[in-house]
Structure 1
Amino acid sequence: MNAPVVATTTSAAVSTERRQKVEEFAYQARHHALNMGEVQGQGYVGQALGSADMFAAVYADQLNYRAQDPEWEQRDRFLLSTGHYAIGHYAALAQAGIVPVQELDTYGSDDSRLPMSGMSTYTPGMEISGGSLGHGLPIAIGTALGLRHQGSSARVINFMSDGELDEGSTWEAVMGADHHGLGNLTVLVDINALQADGKTDTVLRTEPVADKWAASGWFVQRIDGNDAGALLAAFDAVAVEAKNAARPSVILCDTRIGRGVPLLEQREKAHFMRIEEHEWKICREQLTAGYEGEK
C-alpha cells in the first residue's frame, strides 16, 4: 500500500514560544542574506529569502549540533544539495553561531570561506559541495546508511529544490531510500515553481509530485514552507513517524521567492536577481516593516 499523503497546517501543539523563535531566526537570516547580496549587487537572493523559514526551522529547532565544533561526530547532518542556495545557508550558519556574522561581508570574494556556490572544503558547517543538481540526495542516502551502520542516532536532513526533481538521479535515490528503510533521513524540498530556464511546470512537469514520493514508499507532507508553525508541525509528525516505521520522510514546502520583501516578490526575473544600489535600503525597510507588522 502506498504511503498516505498528509496535508499539514499550523498545529495547535506547536507552542507560541517555539514558533516565535523560528520566526525571529528567519527574520535575522533574511537580513543577513540582503547584506550578503549587496556585497555583490546580485545573486540568488530570492531563494535565500524564500527558504529562510525552512533553514530557520532546521537550525533553530531541529538540528543537533555544536556551533563551536562543526565536525562533532554525533551531530545531525544537514546537506545542502542546491549549492546556489549557499547564500541562504550562510545566513543560517551565521545566525546559528557557526560562522561569524562579520564574515558574511566577504561573501563571494576572493579567498573567502563563503563562495557563491557552497563548498564543504571552505565553509564550517557545510557538509557537501553542491551545485550539480541531483547529487545531494544520493549522498544523503550514503550518509544515512553509514550512520546507521555505525549505530549512530544522528539524523540526516537533505535540502533540495523542485528543479532537482527533473533529475533522474533524484528519483533513483528516492527509490533507494525506501529500499533501505532509512527512517533517519528527512528531505526538505523548496517548491518555489521557478528554475534557471523558467517556470518548473513548463521546463518539466513533475506534478502530482506528492503522489510520486508516496508511491515510492515515503512518508509525505506538503505544507506552506513560509509558515513556521506548519514547518514545526511537519517535523513533529516526522518524529512520530520515525518511531512507528522505518521509512524516509519528505516535507514538500511551497514557498515564495523573495518572501518578506514585496519589491523582490514581484520581480519577473527572480531566479538570479540584479538589484539596484538604491533598492537595498528599500528591501531592508520592507522586511522590517513586514516582520514588525506580523508580531
Structure 2
Amino acid sequence: MKKIISILCSLVGLIIINACASTSVLDHGYYSDGAVQGSTAKITVDKNLEITGIDTSSHIAAFGVKGWSKKLRPGQIQEFTINEGVHSISVRFNSGNLFTSFSKVLIAKFEAHKEYKIIYNINKNNVVYDIIDVQTAESVLLDMDSLQGKTKNIISQFINAVLNPTMEGTDKTVVEENDEYILTSLPHMKYELKDKKSNTIQKGFRGFVTDFTFKKGTVYLYETNTISSKEEFLKIDYKADSKIILEVTDCDSKTVTYTYVKPEYMAGKTVTFKISVKD
C-alpha cells in the first residue's frame, strides 16, 4: 500500500512539474534584426502560436525562428524584445492537435519601451491574428485593406479616389478643381497647380504620408524644375522643403477637403475640391 501511495505521489509530482513547464513563459530574449541593438519593444506571443519568421517574406516556414520551436511546449506563452520600428512577423496556429499549414505575415510599428501582444481568434474555422498594444488593447497592425483604398476610412477613400488612379499600371490623371484652383495629379508623382485668377501654373512632385492607423494623411507639393524623376524626388527631404503642405480632412469619391499646414499664413484654413479622373 505504501508503495502504491509513493508511486501515486511521484506521478502527481511529475504531472505538476510538466504542467508548470508547459505553461511557464518561454523568454527568447532580444531578437537581433541585424541592426545594432537600440531602444526595444517587448512582444508577448499568445499560446498555440508559432513565430515562423521575423522580417522575412516567407509565408510557409514551419520551423520558426532558429531554435525557437525546439524549446516551445504546447500551450506555452512566448516573449521576446525587438528593436523599435516597423517589423513583419510571420505566425501560424499550432495547438498540437490542430494547426494551419501556412503562416500569416503581420506588419506593425513597435514603439520603444512599450509592450505588445500577438493574439488570435478562431472564427468559423478561420484563425484571425492581431497585434495589440497591451496598455490600450488597440490593434497596431497595418491595415492592408485601408492601404489599398478598400475601406470607408477617410484616408483610405483618399487613396482610392486620388492616389490609386495615378499609380503605375493605371497611369490616369486626377483633377481636383474649385473656383480658385485646379490641382492636377499626374502619373509618376507629378503635379500641376493652376491659379485661375492669375493664370499661373506651378509644377513639381507630390508626396503623401500616412500613419499606421490611417487617421492622418498629409500631401506635400514640392515645386521644382530641376528634378525629373520620382526616384530623384524620393531621395530629397521633400517633407521639410515643400512650400505647400495639406492635411486630408475629408474625402469621398467626388470631393476632397484639405486643411492647410503650409504656407503658414494659410495654416488652419480648409479648401475643398471636386474630383474627376481622366485617361
TM over 0.5: no
Q: Which has the higher strand share?
A: 2
Q: Which has the higher helix share?
A: 1
Q: Larger C-alpha radius of gyration, 1 or 2?
A: 2
Give TM-score scaled by structure 1 length. 0.23
Give TM-score scaled by structure 2 length. 0.24
